[in-house]
Amino acid sequence: MTAITFSPDVSGTVTDGVLVVTLDNPPVNAASQTVRAGIMAALAHLNGNSTLKAMVITGAGKSFVGGADIREFGKPPVDPILPDVVSAIEASEKPVIAALNGVALGGGLEIALACHQRIAAPAAKLGLPEVKLGLVPGAGGTQRLPRLTGVAAAIEMIGSGRAVSAAEALRLGVIDRIAGGVLVEEAIALAGEQARRPTRRTGTLPVRAGAEADLEAAAKKVLGKARGQTAPAEAIRLVKLAAHATLDTGLAEERRTFLELKDGEQARALRHVFFAERASAKVDGLEGVQPRKLETIGIVGMGLMGSGIAVSALDAGFRVIAVEQSAEAAEKGRTRIEDMLRKNLVSGRIDQTGFDARISRLKTAGDKAALQPADLVIEAVFDDYDVKATLFRELEGIVRDDAILATNTSYLDPDRLAAETRNPARVIGLHFFSPANIMRLMEVVKGAKTAPDVLATGLQLAKRLGKLPIVCGVTEGFIGNRIFSAYRKEAEFLLEDGASPAEIDSAMEGFGMAMGPFAVFDLAGLEIAWARRKRQAATRDPAERYSVIADRLCEAGRFGQKAGRGWYAYVDGKRQEDPAVTEMIAAARREKGIVPKDFTSGEITRRLVSAMADEGRKLMAEGIASRASDIDLVLINGYGFPAHRGGPMFMAGIE
Ligand code: 3HC
């Protein structure tokens, strides 16, 4: 069978009068200009050739089409633009069938929606994730999807950007069939059938508006998570428009909105985040380094952190051996882990088989000797140097020589801990964020002596756990907590200078942070930072600006929410401004002779974000972070920094 070349990455073959067009633009078959041009050429060939009755479009490799080419977004569009390609597919006289071999995302799904039939491999994933890039679908997604699924389901899918499985897509009406055997063969058969029937064009179908209540519930859910992002609300507006406007009006309004958002600040920031994530996976010095085999993860300590790590590892299919200091404590830990898993069973996140499989892979014990088979042991015990050092020395006598020892410390020095062991090359820091089974960030701390394959294994573990690993060097607090300390300090200086905790919190929440800094301090408790400040007191430069307010709070027993009072008072669990704190702040100002001034929200956010970026610059100069974008990812994924702002380094223009 001779292949017809339509463009450098689009080719076709003919079977039973059906033109099978394959898109081959690695790594993800993005709909780049040459792909678009190739599809147009294939359509012209189909409709200009009387021996052909239909066309199948499929993708080579793992993807159907991973979306529009995001690298083209910063540049002016080049013809043929995707909406024209999509319209040409829909308008084709002869039927076009989408054979979805893998992911069909964004523009990829939009191509499929314009086809006259859709058949998917069981493992295909379909979605319109544009909102995650600060966009709305720009090639008909907001107008065609609701014509297949109804308005409420389309609002949910487009507004959340969630990808659905082939099975769910079939249920929702997004696709017509799931292949039971060889996808392309079944697509060819379907094309043959379709050629004998009137062509069904998605754009001509009526929109099932559905019940107003369902629609509003879906919209409310999406908006509840949008936190200052523009795109989700725009997506909802466009999907609703589909219900009462003509296709042409809807498409024109969608395109106008897409182009406006594409050039906006939020989309620029979210594109930065997208590429930052891909860049973070590329770590210098690891080219060609093979990670060690990982099957069994050992965990020491089954508190909240250890249990969260256990659940995360069980979810990822690992065997887990979790130990505590006594059989009784181990039993308690086991109950905690089982309860966490059961919660996921009840909520439907896992099914009974999945639950049982996880439990069968979990072993708990009150004796560290049980850790012997572990390939990697993570300690998640109390953050005290002597406790951890003793533990690492003990572990050396238990685990195999090639097993990795990982510390989950937040502030201690992994190099010092490694030096306590005979083989520091196998020691690494794996800093999880709580709750560890939910939070996506993991700082992978490379010690001075950590072996490259140990680092590669840490990264692989993170990836298998579905986490976003960011490699960082050794410094007190690593990337995240160092920046957070700088943020804390600046927030306290702002208090001295005239702002109130509530003003600062409300400014940062308005900016898009999940919570304002003082609400976070109260939630986390003030005592750990206080202990650190006391430790640092002896070596602190007396000329350095220092705010005593937090110390005074702690001296007064105001340790935060758990204590019922901290930066705020908590009455019946409700946060309230507290005149006692206002007076402490006023006193601190008087002592320093500071005349308080008023701050706008913009001034507050600028000062706090600049403080983070300044600390980020230091981390880069010290070689702790290798890229500015890594720092942004840490703040976004571990500290509630709004992704649609791109991170403090992005905002400061630091590359
Ligand atoms: N455009 C350009 N490059 C892309 C891309 C895209 N849409 N999607 C992925 N890539 C690149 C990545 O940057 C990465 O490049 P690198 O190797 O140079 O770092 C490479 O492809 C591999 O990506 P991943 O590491 O993410 O590969 P995975 O196999 O883990 O995941 C994927 C594949 C599920 C397709 C994932 O890459 C993904 O989710 N991509 C983004 C999908 C998306 O958002 N599409 C919508 C685009 S907007 C759009 O379509 C607008 C339209 O409505 C007009």
Predicted confidence at residue 532, as pLDDT, reads 84
Q: Compute, in angstroms, the gap from residue 504 CA to the centroid of ligand 1.
A: 37
Give residue 447's pLDDT band: very low, low, confident or very high (50, 70, 90).
very high
Domain that holds residue 407: 296-472
Instruction: Look up residue 471 and give its two tokens.
Output: 């490699």
Predicted confidence at residue 297, as pLDDT, reads 98
Q: Are residues 595 and 497 in the same domain?
A: yes
Give residue 232's pLDDT band: very low, low, confident or very high (50, 70, 90).
very high
Is residue 70 in contact with ligand 1, taking CB distance under 6 Å?
yes
Ligand 1 atom with the shortest distance to the CA of 274: 13
Question: Which residues are within 8 A (CB) of 51 and not within 5 positions of it... i.e. 6 or more apart?
Answer: 14, 17
Is residue 30 in contact with ligand 1, taking CB distance under 6 Å?
yes
Q: Are residues 443 and 304 in the same domain?
A: yes
CATH of the domain at 519: 1.10.1040.50
The pLDDT tens digits of the residues spanning 598-633 come to: 999 999 999 999 999 999 999 999 999 999 999 999
Query: Cα separation of 254 and 256, whole Å?
Result: 5
Closest C-alpha residue for ligand 1 atom 14: 278
Is residue 127 in contact with ligand 1, taking CB distance under 6 Å?
no
The pLDDT tens digits of the residues spanning 286-345 come to: 999 999 999 999 999 999 999 999 999 999 999 999 999 999 999 999 999 999 999 999
Number of domains in the chain: 3
Whether residue 285 is contained in a domain is answered as no
> Catalytic residue at 72?
no
Give one DSSP letter per residue of 574-638, joined into a string: EEE--HHHHHHHHHHHHHHT-------HHHHHHHHHHHHHHHHHHHHHTTSSS-HHHHHHHHHHH
Whether residue 495 is contained in a domain is answered as yes
**What would the mean pLDDT of 195-199 be, rounded to a whole number?**
86
Tokens 């010095």, located at residue: 285
Predicted confidence at residue 39, as pLDDT, reads 98
The strand ranges marked E within 24-166 are 54-59, 63-65, 96-100, 103-105, 117-120, 125-127, 164-165
Q: Distance from CA of residue 444 to its chain's centroid?
A: 17
Is residue 126 in contact with ligand 1, taking CB distance under 6 Å?
no
Last residue of a domain, one of 472, 494, 529: 472
Q: Compute, in angstroms, the gap from residue 66 CA to the centroid of ligand 1.
A: 6
Whether residue 286 is contained in a domain is answered as no
Contact by Cβ (8 Å): 634, 480: yes
Ligand 1 pocket test target in 23, 28, 144, 280 with most atoms within 8 Å of CB: 28
Whether residue 510 is contained in a domain is answered as yes
Q: Are residues 468 and 523 in the same domain?
A: no
Q: Are residues 66 and 93 in the same domain?
A: yes
CATH of the domain at 184: 3.90.226.10
Q: Are residues 463 and 485 in the same domain?
A: no
Q: Are residues 442 and 465 in the same domain?
A: yes
Q: Are residues 446 and 530 in the same domain?
A: no
Set 72, 90, 93, 110: catalytic member = 110
Give residue 638's pLDDT band: very low, low, confident or very high (50, 70, 90).
very high
Tell me the C-alpha to C-alpha distance, in Å, between residue 165 and each of 18, 131, 372, 459. 27, 19, 39, 27
**What would the mean pLDDT of 465-486 be, rounded to a whole number?**
95
Set 72, 90, 93, 130: catalytic member = 130
Q: Compute, in angstroms, the gap from residue 9 CA to the centroid of ligand 1.
A: 17
Which segment of 134-138, 156-160, 475-479, 564-568 scores lowest on mean pLDDT?
Answer: 475-479
* Helix and strand numbers, DSSP H then E, in the chain: 26, 21
Is residue 133 in contact with ligand 1, taking CB distance under 6 Å?
yes
Q: Are residues 407 and 322 in the same domain?
A: yes
Whether residue 628 is contained in a domain is answered as no
> Catalytic residue at 212?
no
Whether residue 165 is contained in a domain is answered as yes
The pLDDT tens digits of the residues spanning 338-397 come to: 999 999 999 999 999 999 999 999 999 999 999 999 999 999 998 889 999 999 999 999
pTM (two decimals): 0.92
Predicted confidence at residue 481, as pLDDT, reads 94
Whether residue 278 is contained in a domain is answered as no
Predicted confidence at residue 196, as pLDDT, reads 86
567 has pLDDT over 80: yes
CATH of the domain at 422: 3.40.50.720
Last residue of a domain, one of 437, 472, 507: 472
Predicted confidence at residue 499, as pLDDT, reads 97
Tell me how far apart the 2 most distant CA atoms of the chain are, in Å.
Answer: 91
Q: Are residues 22 and 162 in the same domain?
A: yes
Query: Cα separation of 655 and 634, whole Å?
Result: 15
Predicted confidence at residue 221, as pLDDT, reads 96
The pLDDT tens digits of the residues spanning 14-61 come to: 999 999 999 999 999 999 999 999 999 999 999 999 999 999 999 999
Whether residue 269 is contained in a domain is answered as no
Q: Are residues 337 and 427 in the same domain?
A: yes
Query: Cα separation of 270 and 172, whole Å?
Result: 29
Q: Are residues 242 and 312 in the same domain?
A: no
Q: Which residue blocks in 443-578 are alpha helix, DSSP H?
A: 452-464, 478-497, 501-511, 517-524, 527-537, 549-555
Q: Compute, in angstroms, the gap from residue 67 CA to the centroid of ligand 1.
A: 7
Instruction: Look up residue 305 and give its two tokens.
Output: 């952190």
Q: Are residues 464 and 544 in the same domain?
A: no
Average pLDDT of the residues of the chain: 95
